[in-house]
Structure 1
Amino acid sequence: MKSLLSALLLLVAVVQAFAQTPAIFGTVQSNSDKTPLPGANVVLSRTTDSFQTATVTDTEGRFRFERVAKGQYKVEINYLGFEKFSRSFQVQDGPVNLGALQLQDASTAIKEVQIVGRAPLGEQKGDTSQFNAKAFKTAPDASAEDLVTKMPGVTIQDGKVQAQGEDVKQVMIDGKRYTGEDVSSAMRNISSDMVESVQVFDGQSDRAAFSGFDDGNRVKTINFITKKEARQGYTGKASAGYGTDERYMVGAALNYFNNSRRITVTGLTNNINMFDFSVGETPGGGMRGRRGGWGRSNPTGIINTNTFSLNYNDMWGKKVEVSGNYTYSNRDIVNDQYVFRDYVNSDTTYVENSNNRSKEDNHRFNFRLQYNMNENNRLLVTPSITLQQSNDFVQRYANTVAGADTLTRSLNSTAADKTTLNISNNILYSHRFGDSGRILTADLNTSYSSTDGDTYQLQNTDNLVNPARDLYRNQYVSQDNDNFAWSGNLDYSQRLGENSRLQLEYNIGNQNNDADRRTYDFVESTGTFADLIAPLSNTFQSDYLSQRVGPSYQYKTENTSLQFGARYQYATLESDNEYPKPYSLKRSFSNVLPSLEYEYKFSRSQNLRINFRTNTDVPSVGQLQQVLDISNPLQLATGNPDLNQAYQNRLNLRYRNFNAETNRVFFMGVFGTMTQNYIANSVYTNGTVPVALPEGYELQPGARFSRPVNLDGYWSVRSFMNYGQPLNFISSNFNVFAGVGYTRIPGMINDQVNYANTTNFGGGLNISSNISEKVDFNVSTHSNYNIVDNTRNQAGNQSNNYFTQSTSLRYNWTLWKGLVYRTELNHQYNGGLSAGVDKSFLLWNMSIGKKVFKNQQGEISLSVNDLLQQNVSIQRNIASDYVEDVQSSVLQRFFMLTFSYNLRKFNGGEAPATEEQRGNWGGPRRN
């Protein structure tokens, strides 16, 4: 620590020798109403040479240029719908405040464009794609989700919104983050006619935004910039429906807007597999096909849901920005599944039929407070609390089959009650030393989790090869896990010159786990579970301490941005076991973690970004616990206390090109991962296992024993390409996308290494209407062909290649005086799946509705979900030692009569006063 402090002081002394240069800043506003203009392009040029740099304004219309040398300069500002602005000025010793720069409205010119041609889609600004909402026509009651899926590069895959080949994980409204976990719900709670423009970009972490150095933690983000007139008022919707088979749905959503204050309240009760309700809801609740929620990309089973959610965003004064979300959800799920598993290097298959019943109660709370003390100090606090209670009952009938012979039959019943509590908090502070170019950033993360559960297991296993080895068990499992973790990070960065910066980072973190799992046999004489089974019990404590230190260097010019660094990480892992036998472990790890960020701007509309990162992954408590898991007697499993941490390398490449003159968009991405010491699965099928099994727990015929091990050789690479342009002859937008991927997963089968290799070829197209508000359609198709190869497939005749194709049509048509017809068709074709699994289906939903009341605020509709009664759910899973197909029960045909009422009132308003979400104290963002 002393040497580290000395190095830091030496670094400060050295960098102080560099000359300090002033900053240039200001605000861009509309001349007509003085509202800030977010996303305006600001170009700074030196009139005496060719120097030029650029940035974009934040959500308050602010911009800032750091490290500007003395001289004569000119600033030029471009913003869609406004006249070009230009001003010249002199830079001397001190900072230059250009004040409020007001742009003249170019409404006359825009009207001329609207008469003779099509509104421009938008433009590319560095790594930000900005789209003009006026260029996309949607139905009057459409949501922002309907709007963005018309835009180039944005699709819905498996119920999730994707942009440029990646899942959208963050939604912002006027630069403010929507505090919640369901991004689709956030987009459905914004009506499309409220949106002025849409920005798609890779959002940085809070720490990177505060420090000015990219830490590689980026998430695909969509930011909706609303119209000025939609920033005060409210929108809402309430619906109630009842249908055949006693299907019902009652829901309401209300959005209140008052400039920076935004409140969203939603509530829902239903038994038609809806997880949320929004102002963009469609009649009957099923017109969106198979929708996900809270991590369920494809909801399966019959699900009753009662939920309530409150989302809040506001400015407390001029310096404190807050947002919060509370969600309560109660679910009752009935789900039956069929599993067919084909093992590698074996003629044995595993077949399972299960009945699953579960009840869940969830409370989730997230809060975010950002305090902008002054221009040089910022504080961010983000606490989160989750409480979940669940009751699960599973009845599983399974057997192993070799050829035409059944080896083992098993009937298991499991009842489990579990309570899980998660509490976390992050405190992030950043200080900028005036205009010196020095920034200090510190953050502290803490988290606590607790799991308390009781499980009752009743097992009856018939050994058809040797009936003397039939098994019957009646057991109780008590589990109590506690985890506490904390980490602290300190970053110091310093400007070295006009275009370069240096940062030194130190991180220290600790994870402490305390796990207690005890298994008891039922004692007939006492009628209680009193006989402790030591081999199936495990008391485990572990402590993982890691420290990381290293420098990063950043260099930026007009067209180039380069950042590279390296961290040295040293970690220790200590653990102690009481059951099944006393055992102590102490291990240390040391790694060098390099990183690289490179961006090159070919022009204003096209750029290339390359990102390389390394990180380590410590084994979980469950993977380290050497306790025998017999919840499925045909698939025994245990942990491995000798596991090492995994070392991962990630390389991403992205190229973007947006031609604003032709409205053509092109995106290409390549994403690769390679892992050393990958935590793989080692499987034993021949009756021999690497650990001593307790008496009476030997493998049944056809059963498998598995445990995690470290193996090298995991790697995955995939590419994605998207091209989009308008089709003027049918007033529609056209998108075509394609990708190739390869994944190699190592594993072991009977102590021999096996690699599961999967090659994927995919592609598709999407056509969305831009005709009028009365005719709205979207046609898309997406195909995937997968080649599956296992190196230990000695038989050579097992083919697990499969083909899937998903085609969908959504069509809304306002026929006459508020009479609305809606239909949605989703066709799924599956080729190459296992016997007994449905190959394909057509999901057809439709509704006919009539608008009523003044301004057509109400609607009465009759809808049918799954008209042809073909809906199914199929998923293929590929592991290192098997390929399996899982078919789950789903909701099928029902009719529903629904009444909906819409609320809408806008009073206009000013642009919300928000802190710069994508700002960079280390220098301007060169877009």
Structure 2
Amino acid sequence: MKRLFTTLMLLVAMLQAFAQTTSVTGSVQSGSDKTALPGANVVLTRTANAAKTVTATDGEGNFRFERVAQGQYTLEINYIGFQNFSRTFQVAGAPVNLGPLMLQDGATAIQEVQIIGRAPLGEQKGDTSQFNAKAFKTAPDASAEDLVTKMPGVTVQDGKIQAQGEDVQQVMIDGKRYTGEDVNSAVRNLSADMVESVQVFDGQSDRAAFSGFDDGNRLKTLNFVTKKEKQHGYVGKASAGYGTDERYMLGATVNYFNGSQRITATGLTNNINMFDFSIGETPGGGMRGRRGWGGESPNGIINTNTFGLNYNDMWGKKMEVSGNYNYSNRDVINNQYRFRDFVNSDTTYTENSLNQKITDSHRFNFRLQYNINENNRLLIRPNVTIQRNESLVGRNASTIANGDELTNSINSDNVDNASLNLGNTILYSHRFGDSGRILTTEIETRYTNTAGETYQRENTTNFLDEERNVDRNQFIELDRANFSWSGNLDYSQRLAEKSRLQLEYNISNRDNDSDKRTYDYVEGEGYSEFNSPLSNTFQNNYVAQRFGPSYQYKNEKSSFQLNARYQYATLRGESEFPELYSLKRDFNNVLPSAEYEYKFSKSTNLRINYRTTTNEPSVDQLQDVLDISNPLRPSIGNPSLGQEYQNRLFMRFRKFNAETNQVFFMGIFGTMTQDYITNSIYTRDVPFELPESYTYRPGARFSRPVNLDGYWSVRSFFNYGQPVNFISSNFNVNGSVGYSRTPGMINEEINYANNTNFRVGLNLSSNISEKVDFNVSTSGSYELVENTLNTTQNNNYYNHSSNLRLNATIWKGLVYRTELNHQFNSGLSEGVDQAYLLWNMSLGKKVFKNQQGEISLSVNDLLKQNVSIERNIAADYVEDVQSTVLQRYFMLTFTYNLRKFISGAAPEMNQNRGGNWGGRPGGH
């Protein structure tokens, strides 16, 4: 009885203590202009036991602590560029609202540090690296790209901007997303002298930010925080140039800033392989200007006409909007030579091709986030793409065995098709007051339609049997439609001060309808004879349902999250011809995931992430129809394909020493896939029925997708950077080691293509003055390719790349620019160029008041050595591809810079990263 009485008394005391907890709220603002400071670090410390609770301000600068017990507390606030704030207060029974808390500008303290020595590079805040732009000197006309590539861990690899070993997929300006598809254009359309600091972090998906639970979908993000005095005005550039070989370029870009409002307009027409024009464009064009969608360097000779408009604004205090429209017209001519060496065969394949493609596209993206009130948020993201493609591909291909030609095929494809892509996402989140409960719903819809016509011609000579020569003339109609939708419901509940529980339910449906009809040419009647064996109608439907719980725990030092999902999916398919066929597959999967993060200190942390996903086969892979668009590489689909099951593991360690400005990070990525979708190759009899009308081409290799186990890959990387004071520069060394094992089948035998890669690179970027800006880098990559079926096909390949970029003001506005890129290759196929030096340079003279204009003479590929070489490795072959590239031309260019800012205007900066109610703002 006594124990029962004691237990009841303790329970009453616990309930009373729980009932006496309350909330502490407030907002953080700039003391100079009273603007909100989102993303500020807020620490609440209880005097009695020194227990700390940490949060961050949301997009409007507000913060909130729940279940705060009675007692005395100290509140501390840290925000870069401002002095630290501290206040002590008492918590009684009623909620505490501290009101607006003003932070004083810390510019004076920063200037004092700069007088003593070098400006600090920045600091590490959890998983966010924040760099001080003042610590990196750039040329007066530099872009934000020139700035960030001087920062530790930020590089350009294969034309794409990478940060901490990953491709940058999202760009923000003052916390607002730059809506569009081209990250490179976003980075290069911001002037470097407008940037106060740069943040590098892993942005969460919108759903994760709204619900507070990480769904594993991360976007490597760059956020540019602009200087307050540069947030009202405009900056832009316009260039016009004409050169030898009738080369021309006319481009302009203008950025308008008015507090929270950002408007960017760009336009370009040229035939020097530039895909975009930006603030940081070198007069006359240069290596940096010629990057395609996604950043890759384009091959061929390309004529481009494009116009783009980007818009960001706050409609009132609660509605954030952004939109992007882009029109582009491109005409690409590209000659290619391809040499392919097959595994487990004495046969090789060579191909010379001429490719011409004309593309017209309209792209529109829009984003509206409405923070209805403190308990309700709404996000709407529609997008539209309309595109038309006309292409002509002509090939002259041969198969060769032991020096003897087996088959020669001359064929062509003339394609004209149009596509429409419509999509929309609606995301709504509701917080149930102070109860700690959050309900998040998401609905996503997408519709695509592709329709077109193709004319195919083939003339194939069979050197083993001339009676089996082929002369083919066909017309193909294609009509393909896809409609998909998905719905997601998340319910989360706070269990305690530092833990939450979430329940998730997701349902998705993807419906595909493909109709491909082939007609043979009949003399005097045209394309009138229907070819059923090469035609196909196919419908498939994939429905998946997923549900399960998630648990999350966070404290000052560490956090972890565990997720468990059960997924049930069905795949249904039907085909009318070439024969009746029905498909029914069911899949049952358990999809666990987990994430752990530990903060050794404010500047050192470790993060581990594990995730599982499934991928269903595409329509092309499922369609049981023969594709002989390339007669020597025919392919056919496989209706029996199943879905892939993928395991991914990611680990990353970061350390930032603010005193020495040393930066170190390393990471490991690992992937293992069960039922990996790969190709089964046949060089002789195939185990499936071919159309009677099909004529075998000697040396041809049939390809059919199959599921195989055994795929896995791992990649590690590291980066170490520090200032080199005696030459006022920044030094970085980086490297990576990777291994992949790709299964494939050759004549019913399994082959594993094992690929090992080693890479190390050095980079030195100047930090001398605005008049001397250089970047020197060199990197070597060694690749080993091993095949289990035929070790004689093993191959080692070495590539070494060295780059120099210099921008120097010589005398009274005379500017010299040069860019050198040397490529050395070893181990390539015979006939493919092994090394080349690409050298671009220009000499310009600044003119007009404030040197706003410039006249320059430039030369592209001075030594006329530019080539494009690409090595591709698959489960059954290794190939080298050499493509047409733009070579030497001279150009005279006039450039005018626009720049005007309104001083003293009160900014309306909003750095909202999609901050959530249940956890940290996106990526923090």
TM-score in terms of structure 2 length: 0.96
Structure 1 contact 725–733 (Cα < 8 Å) conserved = yes
Instruction: Supply the AA of the counterpart residue of 1:458.
Output: R
> SS at the partner of 2:345?
coil
Structure 1: distance between partners of 2:97 and 2:734: 46
Structure 2: distance between partners of 1:109 and 1:892: 52
Structure 2: distance between partners of 1:337 and 1:225: 44
Structure 1 contact 597–612 (Cα < 8 Å) conserved = yes
Structure 1 contact 21–435 (Cα < 8 Å) conserved = no
Query: Shift of residue 918 of structure 1?
Result: 4.4
Query: Shift of residue 223 of structure 1?
Result: 0.1
Name the structure 2 match of 1:604: 602
Within a 5 Å distance, the mapping from 1:566-715 to structure 2 comes to 566-686=564-684, 688-715=685-712
C-alpha spacing 1:833/1:25, structure 2 compared with 1 (3 Å): farther
Within a 5 Å distance, the mapping from 1:194-205 to structure 2 comes to 194-205=194-205
Q: Is 1:827 equivalent to 2:811 in the alignment?
A: no
C-alpha spacing 1:716/1:172, structure 2 compared with 1 (3 Å): same
Name the structure 2 match of 1:12: none
Structure 1: distance between partners of 2:732 and 2:668: 19
Structure 2 contact 476–519 (Cα < 8 Å) conserved = yes
Query: Shift of residue 916 of structure 1?
Result: 2.9
Name the structure 2 match of 1:775: 772
> SS at the partner of 2:497?
coil
Structure 1 contact 185–278 (Cα < 8 Å) conserved = yes
Query: Shift of residue 472 of structure 1?
Result: 0.6
Name the structure 1 match of 2:306: 307
Q: Is 1:747 equivalent to 2:739 in the alignment?
A: no
> SS at the partner of 2:733?
strand
Structure 1 contact 605–658 (Cα < 8 Å) conserved = yes
Query: Shift of residue 159 of structure 1?
Result: 0.6
Within a 5 Å distance, the mapping from 1:334-733 to structure 2 comes to 334-526=333-525, 528-686=526-684, 688-733=685-730
Structure 1: distance between partners of 2:220 and 2:804: 26
C-alpha spacing 1:847/1:59, structure 2 compared with 1 (3 Å): farther
Structure 1: distance between partners of 2:53 and 2:637: 55
Deviations 1:23-63 (A, max 9, x none): 43333233233333444433221111131233444554444
Within a 5 Å distance, the mapping from 1:236-315 to structure 2 comes to 236-288=236-288, 291-295=290-294, 297-315=296-314
Query: Which 5+ residue runs of structure 2 have no aligned equivalent?
Result: 1-14
Query: Shift of residue 805 of structure 1?
Result: 1.2
C-alpha spacing 1:96/1:803, structure 2 compared with 1 (3 Å): farther
C-alpha spacing 1:314/1:558, structure 2 compared with 1 (3 Å): same
Identify which range, 109-118 or 55-64, moves more after superposition.
55-64
Query: Shift of residue 628 of structure 1?
Result: 0.2
Structure 1 contact 60–912 (Cα < 8 Å) conserved = no
Deviations 1:515-556 (A, max 9, x none): 000111001131x11111111110001111110110000111
Query: Which 5+ residue runs of structure 1 have no aligned equivalent?
Result: 1-14
Structure 2: distance between partners of 1:93 and 1:643: 64
Name the structure 2 match of 1:153: 153
C-alpha spacing 1:483/1:22, structure 2 compared with 1 (3 Å): farther
Q: Is 1:762 equivalent to 2:754 in the alignment?
A: no
Instruction: Supply the AA of the counterpart residue of 1:709.
Output: V
Within a 5 Å distance, the mapping from 1:109-128 to structure 2 comes to 109-128=109-128
Name the structure 2 match of 1:3: none
Deviations 1:359-401 (A, max 9, x none): 0001000000001100110000000111110100011000001
Q: Is 1:179 equivalent to 2:179 in the alignment?
A: yes
Instruction: Supply the AA of the counterpart residue of 1:879.
Output: A
Structure 2 contact 182–295 (Cα < 8 Å) conserved = no
Structure 2: distance between partners of 1:39 and 1:766: 32
> SS at the partner of 1:814?
strand
Q: Is 1:921 equivalent to 2:920 in the alignment?
A: no
C-alpha spacing 1:563/1:472, structure 2 compared with 1 (3 Å): same
Name the structure 1 match of 2:784: 787
Structure 1 contact 36–911 (Cα < 8 Å) conserved = no
Instruction: Supply the AA of the counterpart residue of 2:606.
Output: L
Q: Is 1:131 equivalent to 2:131 in the alignment?
A: yes
Percent identity between the aligned chains? 71
Name the structure 2 match of 1:907: 902
> SS at the partner of 1:536?
strand
Query: Shift of residue 287 of structure 1?
Result: 4.6
Structure 2 contact 36–909 (Cα < 8 Å) conserved = no
> SS at the partner of 1:210?
helix
Q: Is 1:232 equivalent to 2:232 in the alignment?
A: yes
Structure 2 contact 300–332 (Cα < 8 Å) conserved = yes
Instruction: Supply the AA of the counterpart residue of 1:375.
Output: E
> SS at the partner of 2:193?
helix
C-alpha spacing 1:20/1:675, structure 2 compared with 1 (3 Å): farther
Deviations 1:840-886 (A, max 9, x none): 11110000000000010000000001001111111111101000011
Structure 2: distance between partners of 1:910 and 1:798: 67
TM-score in terms of structure 1 length: 0.96
Structure 1: distance between partners of 2:129 and 2:207: 23
Structure 2 contact 765–776 (Cα < 8 Å) conserved = yes
Structure 1 contact 318–913 (Cα < 8 Å) conserved = no
Deviations 1:653-677 (A, max 9, x none): 1111111111111111101111101
Structure 2 contact 838–862 (Cα < 8 Å) conserved = yes
Deviations 1:88-138 (A, max 9, x none): 122344543322222233444333222220010000000000000011100
User: How many residues are aligned here?
Assistant: 907
Query: Shift of residue 435 of structure 1?
Result: 1.1
Query: Shift of residue 920 of structure 1?
Result: 2.8
Query: Shift of residue 690 of structure 1?
Result: 1.9
Identify which range, 876-885 or 17-26, moves more after superposition.
17-26
Deviations 1:543-575 (A, max 9, x none): 111101100001111111110011110011111
> SS at the partner of 2:284?
helix
Query: Shift of residue 924 of structure 1?
Result: 4.5
Name the structure 2 match of 1:98: 98
Structure 2: distance between partners of 1:61 and 1:803: 52
Query: Shift of residue 261 of structure 1?
Result: 1.0
Structure 1 contact 723–736 (Cα < 8 Å) conserved = yes
Structure 1: distance between partners of 2:499 and 2:447: 40
